Structure 1
Amino acid sequence: MIQSLRGIGGGVRRFAGGVDSWDEETQRRALLSLKLVNEFEEQGSGWFWQTDREGRMTYLSSKVACQVTPIGKPALGLPLTTLFQIDSDQPDTERTLGFHLSSRTSFAEYSVRPGTEDTERWWSISGRPMVDERGNFQGFIGWGSDLTEKRRSEAEITRLALFDSLTGLANRQRMKLSLDQTLALTATSYRQVSLLLLDLDRFKAVNDTLGHQVGDELLKQVASRLLRTVGDAGLVGRLGGDEFQVVLPSESHRDRLATLANNIIVALSAPYFIGGSSVTIGCSIGIAIAPDDGSDSETLVRNADLALYAAKGDGRGLHRFYQQEMLAGAQSRKVLEDDLRQALVQNQLHVAYQPLVATSDARIVGYEALLRWEHPIRGGISPADFIPIAEECGMIETLGEWVMRTACHDAAQWPDHVRVAVNVSPIQFANPALPSIVANALASSGIAPDRLELEITEGVFLNETASSDAMFASLKGLGVRLSLDDFGTGYSSLGYLRKAPFDKIKIDQSFVRGAAIAGNRNAAIIKAIVTLADTLGMETTAEGVETQDEIALIRELGCSHIQGWVYGKAMRAEIVLEVLQAGGQARLVGHRTSRAARVKMLRWAKLEIGGSRGDVRIRNLSTTGAMIDGVAFDGDVEGLKVRIEIVEGRMIDAEMRWSADGQAGIAFAEPIDLERLTAPVSKIRRAAA
């Protein structure tokens, strides 16, 4: 009925003059239809339109007419194609309105917007040709509905799906889409694409200590700085947490990428001011370049992540480019992780004990329990290799509890005055069940609580909260002793010494080594620490003592205890028992005099020989030379001139001293500043103690 009314005179409001010839029932039905149409047009979201044979509007609902034409301008008489602009991006609108008008074919649910005004209005429009009783074409008749709110909702859904709600940056999904599209385009144009993967250093500490609101505000400011630094060079996104990503579609020059990475690190490491507080974090970056480092997004991201892992391993606050050896290293770590999971159940692990010696009379007063792994195929594996893997894969708590139980059980065989020290990682310290684990180990072994000393690193104070204070109180409530391990490195602060109930401070080996060499300032630092500890009523242990002349110096500086290779390496429990039964006197085995300090590490470097370069691994480093592996020479190599990249981008002149079994020793042409060069290198906890 409505359609028949629309066909009379070009509009529903123009038919009234002809109703007199209708019977009463037809007239009543027509008026009711008119009323319903009016109500629908005024109150509903739908509307109607009609054109003549030339496609000019003869009728258009008023609520739409006022939105497609300027104020005061009529819509009637204008072409349909002038009033409405079709959305050609929609898959169901591959043909234009003009095509349907000229071909006199029906169309349905085309998305259109105003053709003359730049307003955010959208409608769905449908229409069909209209013919008279003789079959002659009269124009088009149609209807429509408002899509504006639907479009806005869809746009918001798209925004939420592709953008990070906190920072406004592209999210993980959009970054992957962008990277996939960019890689697809460059596959035919032979251009290179670079990917930067960023991770904020020390962000978790901010979140835990200052709260998530401060953490969220910090992420917003990081995003702002990152956008300013990258500019128009690439797309910046947040993957989640404190991970960010930058896609650079037309940059592959390594020097420029290194400059950009350094600029990002500097920008993100500058202090932030949030809620009246100054907050400082850092940033590490991994870089991969397509197609050399991967031609698909999954491979490229994986390799950038491996480069990021290397940057963190080298000390954080750095950038690293992906190298093929990193993948081999990751695969090796995965094999090591799988083997480590079997090591505990297959009795491949054991606890070795290194003596703690009193400086006054060289008597053994205790032992530090150190975890050792004897692999059935690879032999002894360094803790520096498997402890970080245990921390990453979540095994460190299981291993830590096993070491504590074993150490307490072994200590039960020792004289009552000999203590046992067990390391507690920050991950273990954060576990509320730690006091119960310690209590169970004491109860099952039967040793007195004050014979167990828990060594806690300064890393636990990164997450210093009320729960940390409660943990210290619970542990002291058990009667165990607490030792502050590796003091002077990482996050040293005198503030926590005021309230943390430590019984001992262990002076890190980096201050001990070289202290006996003339002109070294380490002795003054040791003296200051000893004075502080004495004032607070704490004992002191000097770690990493290797030479006999250091013993005399440590004793002179007032340190109460000594630990290090000078009294031998860590030994198995049965040997410890023999030593204690023989009187418990420490035996000197170290060198008489000091030599240049060496830093143990495992990192890749470039070695240049006769203009050719290759990759080697640095095993240890001193001011005068280094030990490397990954090389093989025939014949005598002593005196062979080489250059080695100790710091990325800087080659140092050196010469070969010896070579055997794939390893070699090199001497630098000039002494290097070891502290400055190794400042970014993360400390390895007594790897070979």
Structure 2
Amino acid sequence: MAGLLSRIQNGKADAHSDAPAGAFNAISRANLLESLEKSDLGWFWASDANGHLTYISSPAAQRVGKPVEEIIARPITEFFQPVEDTGGSGHERPLKFQLASRGSIKPVTVKLEMGNGHSWWEIAAVPQTDAAGNFAGYHGIARDVSDTYEAKQHAEKLSRYDSLTGLSNRHRMSHQLGATLTAFRASKRSCAIMLIDLDRFKQVNDTMGHPAGDELLKQVAARLKRVLGDAVEIGRIGGDEFQVILPDEDDRGVLGELGMRVIQMISQPYTINGLRAVIGCSVGIAVAPFDGIQEDELVKAADLALYSAKGGGRGQFRFYSSELRDKASHRHQIESDLRDALNREELEMHYQPIVDAKNHQVVCVEALMRWNHSERGMISPADFIPVAEEVGMIRELGAWALHKVCETVQTWPGHVRAAVNVSAVQFDADDFVDVVKQALRSTGIDPSRLELEITESVFVGDMERAFRLFNALKELGVRLSLDDFGTGYSSLGYLRDAPFDKIKIDQSFVRGCTAEDNKNDAIIAAVVSLARALGMETVAEGVETKDEMRAVTEQGATHLQGMLFSRAIPGAEILQRLEAGEIEFTPRGPEKYRSDRRTEFRKIGLIHGNDRYNVFLRNLSKTGAKVEGLLDVPVGTDIVLDLGGGQLAVARVRRSEGFSQGVEFETPLISDGADGLCTRHRVSPYQIEAAGRPLRALNDEAVAAITGAIRSGTKSFIQVEIGKH
């Protein structure tokens, strides 16, 4: 064909010559092919057996921007570059695969680099053989499909990426996670995922409008890219929910730090159309294969962790654990029973004293709701308050609490005040001021004896409405207290303008303020100084030790609250003390703060050599623990504590007395995002699989099976029975 076209171009063939009919047909075919080439509807190419180009249509070469002679003799794969099937369709066999097979090249899209950019062609070819039947190269056709290819790519991108943020969408994230987990199972690798849910986004969306909400989501996406980098896959999988895939990461120390960086970055203020918006986020973390093997299993684990983070007060991260699965079942039961708790009169109010820092006499109490379930006893507010907020009962419970507290305080002698917590959901209600007014009117309480504790989250969104409500409440005569100051969205602007009577310094600043290298004392001093200048009282929350009490008092806090003075007690007990004139609360508690030490009592495993023992964990800190249950274990003995959930902590006995041992960890524990501690690493399900068990998410039975058995024969130590004491 190339020779014939050459002869036509050189005038050596004439359609009007006295050529035989066959030659005339060949000449007509050549003219037809030449016309096709010039029309740019399609071009021709040929290669030799070594994969080098031997012919290409002149119009095609012109498209590339190079003379024909610069293209001839170049490898096909240098000229026709393969294109990745980014759509995941898998319909086209890769060009290299087809060339290697030396069979027919089915239509395949290739990329051509040109002087001013690149284009996409579709090529196809049939193999040629020589007289001996050996492969001699290809004869092929080509056409420019740039317009249709780009349109297809754009459509595929729309189907795989979020049009608002440019992040991967739910479909692509699901495909990526499923493919990653499948590949990583084969190569025994781990993969973590994060679920990120924005806190208070709906308030911004409702008060500033949907266009502002869209702009906020774009800025959130940009921040996530900045803090997480390019090595991870980030997607928007819902309205204000994001997912992150982190390959080859199972160190919970690294994941926890990354989770906190995300929370801190997302919580910084945003500027949208000249207005200030502040949101937060909660993070749930799960790791394969530890928390799940399949995609749906892992996502469900991360979702439970996210729910726990939101239930813990938001602005937090949580790792998945099997306990969360059990708590989820417990939560469903709480939701069911909570709807009848008011009717069954199971809810009651307890009161924690707030004392004067100078004489420790009670001047106010914080009212805290308690649920005394008829069958299960006391249920923690940390369990049922988040459920009440989620199912929409918090306004009803809040109104009941407000009326109950006013009714109770009205019977108390003297002028002791009561502070009632107000949730952001309550504060957002249009009738909130009327609810307060009704409680005051129906109980006849002096309004100055009622304090409303309001968190900084009420300032998110409509600031003007917030200040209108503050002023309306002050006109009723009640006092206003800013709760948990410094943990959320502090702004000196609203602190200056809002009519607060009191600032409560969050316990996170009080806790450990006397520890070495702790700068919380400076923060406390600054807050106290600011409050004094604004004519406000200050309450240091969470005071648990005498050195903390002395520190916050020296910094100038006017009031103190915490377990050092009293837990929250029933109203009848407060009334009894007030009637008896016993208004001073003597501090009772430890002299000094002890870092991160938790009092516990639970059964764990202790491994020594090939033996496994059952012992009880008494105290736990980042650096060590106290265990009981083995008799006369020598100091210096190396052991491993099985803390549950695949958490093995290598330790050495540093103190030993009778059946009690103090052990020091080889590697310090880390925060689990809540109030607990956990190990950085866990036993890998791949190790359990190698021991002959099926591959599945971690469970304590499988871990115990590969870490030694409790033998009935001679063992190194004597195990003794321990009771809770």
- 1:595 corresponds in structure 2 to 592
Change (3 A) 1:669 1:470: same
Change (3 A) 1:634 1:556: closer
Q: Is the 8 A contact 1:409 1:445 kept in 2?
A: yes
- 1:197 corresponds in structure 2 to 194
- 2:172 corresponds in structure 1 to 174
Deviates more, 1:379-388 or 1:474-483: 379-388
Alignment of 1:215 with 2:222, yes or no, is no
For residue 301 of structure 1, report the CA deviation from its aligned partner: 1.0
| Structure 1 residues 185-584: aligned runs within 5 Å | 194-199=191-196, 204=201, 211-212=212-213, 214-222=215-223, 224-225=225-226, 228-230=229-231, 235-247=233-245, 251-252=247-248, 254=250, 284=283, 286-290=285-289, 293-308=291-306, 322-359=320-357, 363-415=361-413, 417-461=415-459, 465-510=463-508, 512=510, 526=524, 528-546=526-544, 559-583=557-581
For residue 353 of structure 1, report the CA deviation from its aligned partner: 1.6
Amino acid at match of 1:286: I
For residue 390 of structure 1, report the CA deviation from its aligned partner: 3.5
- 1:79 corresponds in structure 2 to none
Change (3 A) 1:657 1:495: farther
For residue 411 of structure 1, report the CA deviation from its aligned partner: 1.6
Secondary structure, counterpart of 2:351 in structure 1: strand
- 1:86 corresponds in structure 2 to none
The TM-score with structure 1 as length reference comes to 0.61
Q: Is the 8 A contact 1:269 1:280 kept in 2?
A: no
For residue 568 of structure 1, report the CA deviation from its aligned partner: 3.3
For residue 265 of structure 1, report the CA deviation from its aligned partner: 7.1
For residue 439 of structure 1, report the CA deviation from its aligned partner: 1.6
Change (3 A) 1:494 1:649: farther
Q: Is the 8 A contact 2:160 2:169 kept in 1?
A: yes
Change (3 A) 1:668 1:336: farther
Change (3 A) 1:624 1:64: closer
Amino acid at match of 1:498: R
Amino acid at match of 2:194: L
Amino acid at match of 1:575: E
Q: Is the 8 A contact 2:641 2:648 kept in 1?
A: no
| Structure 1 residues 60-99: aligned runs within 5 Å | 68-69=41-42
Amino acid at match of 2:286: I
Secondary structure, counterpart of 1:294 in structure 2: coil
Secondary structure, counterpart of 2:593 in structure 1: coil
For residue 482 of structure 1, report the CA deviation from its aligned partner: 0.5
- 1:81 corresponds in structure 2 to none
For residue 406 of structure 1, report the CA deviation from its aligned partner: 1.0
For residue 422 of structure 1, report the CA deviation from its aligned partner: 0.4
Q: Is the 8 A contact 1:197 1:286 kept in 2?
A: yes
Change (3 A) 1:479 1:294: same
Which ranges of structure 1 fall in alignment gaps of 5 or more residues? 1-51, 74-88, 95-111, 123-146, 684-689
Amino acid at match of 2:41: V
Secondary structure, counterpart of 2:572 in structure 1: helix
For residue 550 of structure 1, report the CA deviation from its aligned partner: 7.0
Secondary structure, counterpart of 2:292 in structure 1: coil
Amino acid at match of 2:241: E
Q: Is the 8 A contact 1:351 1:403 kept in 2?
A: yes
For residue 392 of structure 1, report the CA deviation from its aligned partner: 4.3
Which ranges of structure 2 fall in alignment gaps of 5 or more residues? 1-24, 44-56, 60-86, 93-106, 113-117, 123-144, 677-725
The TM-score with structure 2 as length reference comes to 0.59
Change (3 A) 1:539 1:570: same
For residue 634 of structure 1, report the CA deviation from its aligned partner: 6.4
Amino acid at match of 2:222: Q
Secondary structure, counterpart of 1:229 in structure 2: coil
Change (3 A) 1:214 1:419: same
For residue 495 of structure 1, report the CA deviation from its aligned partner: 3.9
For residue 451 of structure 1, report the CA deviation from its aligned partner: 1.6
Deviates more, 1:450-459 or 1:605-614: 605-614
Change (3 A) 1:651 1:582: same
| Structure 1 residues 624-643: aligned runs within 5 Å | 633=629
Q: Is the 8 A contact 1:654 1:667 kept in 2?
A: yes
Q: Is the 8 A contact 2:512 2:595 kept in 1?
A: no
Number of equivalenced pairs: 558
For residue 543 of structure 1, report the CA deviation from its aligned partner: 3.2
Identity %: 38
Change (3 A) 1:488 1:196: closer
Q: Is the 8 A contact 1:229 1:267 kept in 2?
A: no
Q: RMSD across aligned C-alpha pairs, in angstroms?
A: 6.0
Q: Give deviations 1:458-514, integer Å, cap 9, x for gaps.
A: 344455733332332232232210012233545555443211211112334455566
Q: Distance in 2 between matches of 1:593 and 1:155?
A: 67
Deviates more, 1:554-563 or 1:276-285: 276-285
Q: Distance in 1 between matches of 2:263 and 2:510?
A: 34
Q: Distance in 2 between matches of 1:551 and 1:413?
A: 31
Q: Give deviations 1:34-82, integer Å, cap 9, x for gaps.
A: xxxxxxxxxxxxxxxxxx9xxx99999x999956346999xxxxxxxxx
For residue 169 of structure 1, report the CA deviation from its aligned partner: 2.8
For residue 442 of structure 1, report the CA deviation from its aligned partner: 1.6
For residue 398 of structure 1, report the CA deviation from its aligned partner: 2.9
Q: Is the 8 A contact 2:655 2:661 kept in 1?
A: yes
Q: Distance in 2 between matches of 1:587 and 1:72?
A: 101
Q: Give deviations 1:597-644, integer Å, cap 9, x for gaps.
A: 4769799999865379999999987799768xxx88466889897677
